[in-house]
Structure 1
């Protein structure tokens, strides 16, 4: 094995993590200024940057996006086990077993749960989907909490009664926030599944080889 640099071996995760940090910081700064403009328009004093991080405006806007991403990935991981799309690089082949379907075998280089076996192996064999489902549930809960805080802050600024959690769960504005994110994620997955049938990107593992027939499924 070649002695590659740390960045070469981990470049994809490093670049996306940096992009996440940069865009999150930009979101927070823009959100802070936008929220203070709203408060000033209502005749209320501005919040400090640290105080803004504890507001429903920040919590809701951040986790509103997180939960839709984790839902997308949880569904994608699970549905690609059972469903097929002829010609797509994102689908398993229409017939036969693939490498990901084989039963795990213990070896000295296998992950610890595989070597241990039993319930630990069973759990590990579903750990990716479990992780995404848990991340979705946590993010959805934080989005709901932040959205409730933000909504009630607006209610108080306008001299209206605040909502309980049960009342807000039936509020259309919360579900509007939720569904507008979910549908965009489902559309993006449908796009890569369908477009990868007919379009190519040389060198990308998300694409079939440039000369692959349209009806060829998977890599």
Structure 2
């Protein structure tokens, strides 16, 4: 019990967002199921069960298109913050710190600490993979989510085409269709706006106690507090 309490205290941020995620996903599934059945009944079709809905392409495409936009957002933000800076934002490194940093600054290879991760002490390909593992993971999840969205969306569109007496589309046709890119870009633009707003607002606005904010009394021009 003590171990569990310690874990929950030291991992409370991850646990809290995992719980919120699961609750939101469940809420989406129940609301989506109800909405889907309303549409089916309006077209004179029989409603589907909850299990049938959550295993359907309709549900998968809605979930996947949100996931891929979120992971694309973080992939681009992580990559951009290697080279680009924003004076005054705690989301940015300070001027002059652009780039991947030296081995000594990153504590890798011969400069690794005794308690550094094992792969940080490695050389060659293993060190490169670990040095870029966060970006690689975000990019991989984005691509897999995007693939799932495109495949599920393709199935949904062809089901609708059958209902309207239209010929089926190939996956390639769907990938270049206005419907696919309309759904995709709706999500992308909102994610990019949110990131840009966070970077800009954090220059002048504060939230006491948050690691995403500078200390309340720090001047506006200060960027990454940890590097000052």
Interval containing the TM-score (normalised by the shorter chain): over 0.9
Moved beyond 6 Å, runs of 4+: 97-100
Q: Which residue of 2 aligns with 1:189?
A: 195
Highest relative contact order (Cα 8 Å, sep 6+), 1 or 2? 1
Q: CA deviation at 1:74?
A: 0.3
1:130 to 1:98, Cα distance in 2 relative to 1, 3 A: closer
Pair 1:44 & 2:45 matched: yes
Q: Which residue of 2 aligns with 1:177?
A: 183
Pair 1:215 & 2:221 matched: yes
Q: CA deviation at 1:99?
A: 10
Q: How far, CA to CA, are the matches of 1:210 and 1:5 in structure 2?
A: 30
CA contact (8 A) 1:92 1:98 kept: no
Within a 5 Å distance, the mapping from 1:1-219 to structure 2 comes to 5-96=6-97, 102-103=105-106, 104=108, 105-219=111-225
In the superposition, the TM-score normalised over structure 2's length comes to 0.89
Q: CA deviation at 1:96?
A: 4.3
Tell me the matched-pair count: 217
Report the more deviating stretch, 164-173 or 69-78.
Answer: 164-173
Q: How far, CA to CA, are the matches of 1:54 and 1:115 in structure 2?
A: 44
Q: How far, CA to CA, are the matches of 2:135 and 2:167 in structure 1?
A: 40
Q: How far, CA to CA, are the matches of 2:116 and 2:90 in structure 1?
A: 27
SS of 2:37's partner is: helix
Q: How far, CA to CA, are the matches of 2:25 and 2:68 in structure 1?
A: 15
Gaps in structure 2 of 5+ consecutive residues? none
Q: CA RMSD in A?
A: 1.9
Q: How far, CA to CA, are the matches of 2:192 and 2:98 in structure 1?
A: 27
Q: How far, CA to CA, are the matches of 1:143 and 1:100 in structure 2?
A: 36
Q: How far, CA to CA, are the matches of 1:210 and 1:60 in structure 2?
A: 42
